[in-house]
Amino acid sequence: QKEVEQDPGPLSVPEGAIVSLNCTYSNSAFQYFMWYRQYSRKGPELLMYTYSSGNKEDGRFTAQVDKSSKYISLFIRDSQPSDSATYLCAMTPNAGGTSYGKLTFGQGTILTVHP
């Protein structure tokens, strides 16, 4: 079983929809959680960064972490065609320290927002 599980999709939604992307994990040591967005033929870019449990909002994006359930989510409100990309969750036990901030990634979910 993988440490981080993410439904690869693909997920197709109409413009304006609310999108929910999810990851589950098995390692209870994970404390730092991230979402990356990767456009076709590009490298991933950091979208959201959260520590421990709770919510974080940035514009149309909301990241949620539920450590008790080992479950993280990314919500996209009022989705736009420009949101079409692969979304990767990532996590690490320590920001730095002896793990050097190494990230464990989910497989990525392919999202298409159609006009």
Partner 1 sequence: DVKVTQSSRYLVKRTGEKVFLECVQDMDHENMFWYRQDPGLGLRLIYFSYDVKMKEKGDIPEGYSVSREKKERFSLILESASTNQTSMYLCASSLSTGKGYTFGSGTRLTVV
Site for partner 1, rule CB under 8 A: 8, 32, 34, 36, 41-46, 49, 88, 90, 92, 94-96, 100-103, 105-108
Nearer of residues 19 and 32 to partner 1, judged by Cβ: 32
Span between the terminal Cα atoms of the chain, in Å: 37
Nearer of residues 90 and 113 to partner 1, judged by Cβ: 90
Smallest gap from Cβ 76 to partner 1, in A, equals 19
- The amino acid at residue 25 is Y
> Are 44 and 36 spatial neighbours (Cβ–Cβ below 8 Å)?
yes
Beta-bridge mates of residue 114: 14
> Are 10 and 113 spatial neighbours (Cβ–Cβ below 8 Å)?
no
Nearer of residues 100 and 115 to partner 1, judged by Cβ: 100
Tally the C-alpha atoms within 13 A of residue 8's C-alpha that lie toward its C-beta: 1
Nearer of residues 33 and 79 to partner 1, judged by Cβ: 33
- Alpha-carbon distance of 78 to 25, in angstroms, equals 28
Smallest gap from Cβ 26 to partner 1, in A, equals 15
Smallest gap from Cβ 92 to partner 1, in A, equals 7
Smallest gap from Cβ 105 to partner 1, in A, equals 4
